Structure 1
């Protein structure tokens, strides 16, 4: 009877170890970004290589930026450009990108560590006193981010990303959107 228990326990132990090894080897956490026009997944692995390996912006990163061009367009800074503090961001975005005339901008290093957070604000048209952010049309925005320039570690921390987040007061994930612009930190 003792031998049978040992054999059964050994079988369960082997099965548990086998399942654990298979999960460890086969499990990969992925986030899929979708092209909202075609409902097809977009490969974003190029963002990591563009942000870490080189200051050049790959075609795939440019494609991801162009996917958002119907919602937000950043004029400054351009993707792959060298930035310093304080950084002024400018562009145009649909009024639906804002809430109460602002939306968050976040600066992260190559590893995703948040270096600074700020807000971009609606800039009224000086030629139109009735201009408002409460529209579905494009409106101007501008914002400033103050940050400490990260020190270089193994040659990679000079890369980073500026994230332009759609303001989502509802908190519902289906209303989330963001545009990520890869940058290089200057001195």
Structure 2
């Protein structure tokens, strides 16, 4: 008699786990890319992704019919904000200074270089970086970005404007700066 009672509970848990595994298989890389763009560090991006998946799993039963990727993305952005508040942009030592461009290379290649863009995004404030990632990497509207970050629409617009202004003059993205270095 007892086995009959346990079997449905086990089936529900197995079904829940298989649903989460299917979600995780499709969302892990996407979440990692967002985490990397937010943090600029591969190790921190992995940590953020893992913590996001753990929190999403614990809330899986409450997501009835909702979009689990949107929920996970929101967790990811909030976790990054929490970690950023604790760490407060410390300098990180590196074994050697990376080269910006090879001599004689086309300056347009440096502008398109993902590494240059990732470095430039790290010069933005936490809020500006989150807005840029949501608006242009995740292709969200201003309204969706405001809802995702829990801020007013005007805040999204002003943060986006400031961030784009900073990116336009960032030396990592400036073709003129790369051209002058090559000479």
Q: TM-score range by the shorter chain?
A: under 0.3
- State the TM-score, normalizing by the size of structure 1: 0.25
- Rg larger in structure: 1
Which one has a larger percent helix, Structure 1 or Structure 2?
2
Q: More strand by proportion, 1 or 2?
A: 1
